[in-house]
Structure 1
Amino acid sequence: MLVSGCASTRGVSETTSAGEAPSVSGQPADDPTPAAAAPLQTSAAAPGSLSSAGPATRSDAPLIYTVKPGDTLWGIANRFLLDPWQWPEVWYVNDQIANPHQIYPGDVLKLVYVNGRPRLLRDSDTASLGVERLSPQVRELPLDSAIPTIPLEAIRNFLRGPRLVTNDELSTSPYVLAFADEHLIGGSGVQIFVQNLPESSAFNYAVVRRGQIYRDPDNGDLLGYEAIPVGEAEVRDFGAPSTAVLSRTFREALIGDRLLTAEPEAFSENFYPRAPDADIDGRIIAVTDGVAQIGQYYIVAMNRGTDHGLEPGHVLDILQAGRRAPDPYSIRSIALPETFAGQLIVFKVTPRVSYGLVMSVTEPVHVLDKVEKPVAGRR
């Protein structure tokens, strides 16, 4: 489930009439006094309001927004905030209701101020702030109908790869020897013959292809090899060779493609955008399919992972690596400052490498550009 970084605020209610700004009594979030002991003012926020005590809202931010099918958490945050990764600082959660962190199509979100800070809350949560609900609704939706954090279509074929593997893992793994129809390529439903497949209790395998070598550009260390996802195979008969069927393909399978034991599905769409706790000083080391220039919704690999404090949901700024420009009045070249180029959100991590989806770009992004902990207002 989504986990919020915002503490819940409670208060003594005062009834409001339709069209009036809500007002409640309570206490500031940092006041340890019980809720009824100090006043708390909650009011509707004007579009374009900026609060010195909290994240900046967009000039065209709506006061009320109804969540629609196809929305993502990042997209909704971007409607309200200049920096979408600051969502946890403004998202109000009522921890007394089931699945309080899930947002569903049909939910009504409101932008208000609480003690001078912008706050986003569901219409169903206004009661806990002392605001009378004029049209209460009760509805139940399955958990998997909650909106995802990022566009899943952009990474759907990536969810079980690429994988970070060693050279030995690839070199000693089983491989596609031939296709049953004597073709040189194969797709979903095609029967394949697999060489060196040991008989075991495993019947489902990932079909992969050797990709890029991952090296840390900071010290030259070998981080591993990319195993590009090709598809999935189901074993029908073990033997020499074994027989299997391509149950699913993401790209055309080729003779020589390798089979690896299928990874447990560790990806979860239920995370929320936020800044990492630790400072991050990394670089983009690869991009899926090896394109030269990286755009929105491209998937990139970085030389930082769980060993450096990264987790799924962490947002990173992308800084265009400082290039050098020739000085027209000398033979020297001058290093130019690094330039903000976009943002990405981490969705898969290993100890030393992580994968992220580029959410926005303002300048061309390339391999070896830097990634850092985001800075508010750096655009």
Structure 2
Amino acid sequence: MQSRFAILSVFSIVLTLFAGATPALELAPDAPSRYVVQPGDTLWDIAGRFLNEPWRWSEVWQANPGIDNPNRIYPGDVLELAQVAGRPVIRRAAGVRTVRLSPQVRAETLKAPIPVIRIGNIAPFLTQPYVADSDAIKQASYVVGFPEEHIVAGVRDSIYVRKIPSAEMQQFQVLRPGDPLRDPESSELLGYHVEFIANAVLERPGNPAKLRVTRMEREVSIGDRVIPADPESALADFLPRPAPTGLRGRILAVTNGVSQIGRYDVVILNRGARDGLEPGHVFEVFSGGERERDQVRSGIANSNWLMDSPFSSEFWLGYSYEFKGWRADEPSANEGFPLHPAYRRQKAEYIAPFERAGRLMVFRVFDRVSFGVILEATRALQVGNWIAPPSA
């Protein structure tokens, strides 16, 4: 427990040193004076073209007054970089929109504003209940079998579900209950990870009911839970901005089940709405804080095993032990001389310093946890890495 508090204290000191008075905005070295928004752009991409710190976009964006949704940016909009009262501002050129016509492009493309981040990476997580407040999901209807002699089911396959008594609901989600999510510091139960498996449509109610799989992320297995599907909803408008000052947390899990986390992976954080988190909050990710073996002190880096004698303790115990004396009263208190040497393992460890390793943005918030997408990764990230607001 003391070592945990020691690591947390080191992390707090490191972040305190990183923090300080808010410096002036720094433009990117190659920031353009004008930029035409392209289809496929995201707000994060555009902010990175103009700023060294994209999460400070709201400090430079000058929304055009007098129009609906002034913060929305569309393909074809011309953005201008200007100076107002000695500080940089970015604004939409009044009355200017560049439209390039192509027979392959549908007209609806130009009507849709650019997203904050790439929706394709997070779309399944916007409506699916990936975190449950309790393990009540285990009491839901479940897949009990398949019409054909299948072990699993895929798209267009039928499944039997126990039980769906009526045809009132037509659209369903197939989910797989996962492990409980606990705060790594307090061990508080934050929720249960629920893995999205597939969408299905009702073909016949009953016990068992018959459903057909229409879309899937993974193959449907016996025991998967089935619940009514939520209606599709669009990603709410938000601007990238730093997370609340002083708020720190950890990465609890990664949704695709890998151990090494990279760009555009979706992660679960141990902070949520009760901690003041909102969609759009940006965190920096820090690696470090783990105990690492000191290879020099433990003898790994300077072992001379070819010269070690079988009569030496190093030959049998290695270099991570040192002689501390003789054990008294062994094998018994009646012995006139202790026969057994006492060896103790050296503390050949050190705590790895914290290093900035990436950035993430929160896009969906629950009460006690939230989802974030990794926007940048300068090194491999892992479950358990620390997160903190970016130092402006």
Distance in 1, matches of 2:56 and 2:108, equals 27
Amino acid of the residue matched to residue 272 of structure 2?
A: G
Matched, 1:228 2:195: yes
2:210 match: secondary structure = strand
Structure-2 residue corresponding to 1:90: 60
Corresponding letter in the other structure for 1:190:
D
Task: Mark the runs of 5 or more structure 2 residues left unpaired by the alignment.
Answer: 1-21, 100-106, 298-345
- TM-align CA RMSD: 2.4
The answer to whether the 8 A contact 1:161-1:227 is kept is no
3-state secondary structure, aligned to 1:285: strand
Q: Does 1:359 align with 2:359?
A: no
Kept in 2, the 8 Å contact 1:69–1:147? The answer is yes
Instruction: Write the distance in 1 (CA, Å) between the matches of 2:126 and 2:184.
Output: 26
Note the C-alpha offset of 1:64. 1.1
Contact 2:167 2:204 in 1 (8 A): no
Q: Matches of 2:138 and 2:68 in 1, distance apart? A: 49
2:185 aligns to what? Answer: 218
Q: Determine the structure 2 residue equivalent to 1:70.
A: 40
Q: Which of 75, 89, 113 is residue 119 of structure 1 equivalent to?
A: 89
Q: Kindly indicate whether the alpha-carbon contact (under 8 Å) linking 1:313 and 1:347 is maintained by their aligned counterparts in 2.
A: yes
User: Bigger CA drift: 142-151 or 323-332?
Assistant: 323-332
Matched, 1:187 2:154: yes
> TM-score normalised to the size of structure 2?
0.75
Tell me the secondary structure at the aligned position of residue 279 of structure 1. coil
Which residue is equivalent to 1:299? 266
Aligned AA (1:115): A
The one-letter code of the counterpart of 1:55 is L
Question: What amino acid is the match of 2:52?
Answer: L
Q: TM (normalized to structure 1)?
A: 0.77
CA contact (8 A) 1:322 1:339 kept: no
Separation (CA, whole Å) in 1 of partners of 2:350 and 2:120 = 42
Q: Partners of 1:238 and 1:166 in 2: how far apart?
A: 28
Cα deviations across residues 42-85 of structure 1 (Å, max 9, x unaligned)? xxxxxxxxxx9741111111111110000000000011111110
Report the equivalent of 1:339. 355
Q: Is this contact kept in 2: 1:278–1:309, CA < 8 A?
A: no
Greater shift in the superposed pair: 325-334 or 184-193 = 325-334
**What is the CA distance between 1:200 and its match in structure 2?**
6.7
- Looking at structure 2, the residues matched to 373 and 143 of structure 1 have their Cα atoms a distance apart, in angstroms, of 34
- Identify the range of structure 1 (161-170 vs 139-148) with the bigger mean alpha-carbon deviation: 139-148
Alpha-carbon contact 1:230-1:252 (below 8 Å) kept: yes
Confirm or deny: 8 A CA contact 1:325 1:335 kept in the other structure.
yes
The answer to whether structure 1 residue 247 and structure 2 residue 263 are counterparts is no
CA–CA distance in structure 1, aligned partners of residues 289 and 234 of structure 2: 34
Which structure has the higher relative contact order (CA within 8 Å, separation 6+)? 2
Distance 1:356 1:138, change over 3 A: closer
Gapped runs of 5+ residues in structure 1? 1-51, 126-135
Please say if residues 304 and 353 of structure 1, whose CA atoms lie closer than 8 Å, have aligned partners that are also in contact: yes
Structure 1 residues 105-143: Cα deviation after superposition (integer angstroms, max 9, x where no partner): 111111111112111111127xxxxxxxxxx56999789
1:161 maps onto 2:128 in alignment = yes
Find the residue that maps to 1:123 and give its secondary structure. Answer: strand
| Aligned equivalents of 2:233, 2:245: Cα separation in 1 | 23
* Deviations 1:201-231 (CA, angstroms, capped at 9, x unpaired): 3332211112232111011112221111111
Q: Using the alignment, how far apart are the partners of 2:234 and 2:157 within structure 1?
A: 28
Structure 1 counterpart of 2:198, which letter? G
Corresponding residue SS for 1:89:
helix
| 1:122 to 1:167, Cα distance in 2 relative to 1, 3 A | closer
Shift of 1:166: 5.0
Report if aligned partners of 2:77, 2:98 keep a CA contact under 8 Å in 1.
Answer: no
**Residues 370 and 144 of structure 1: CA distance in aligned 2, closer, same or farther (over 3 Å):** farther
Matched residues, percent identical? 39
1:286 to 2:302 alignment:
no
* Structure 1 segment 4-153 matched on structure 2, within 5 A: 54-124=24-94, 145-153=112-120
Structure 1 counterpart of 2:229? 262
Aligned to 2:317: none
Does the CA-based 8 Å contact 1:162-1:226 persist in structure 2? no
For 1:64 and 1:226, locate their aligned partners in 2 and report how far apart those are by CA, in whole Å. 45
Q: Could you report, residue by residue, the CA deviation over 1:217-255 in whole angstroms, capped at 9, with x for unpaired residues?
A: 011112221111111122232211111121222222122
Count of aligned pairs between the two proteins? 315
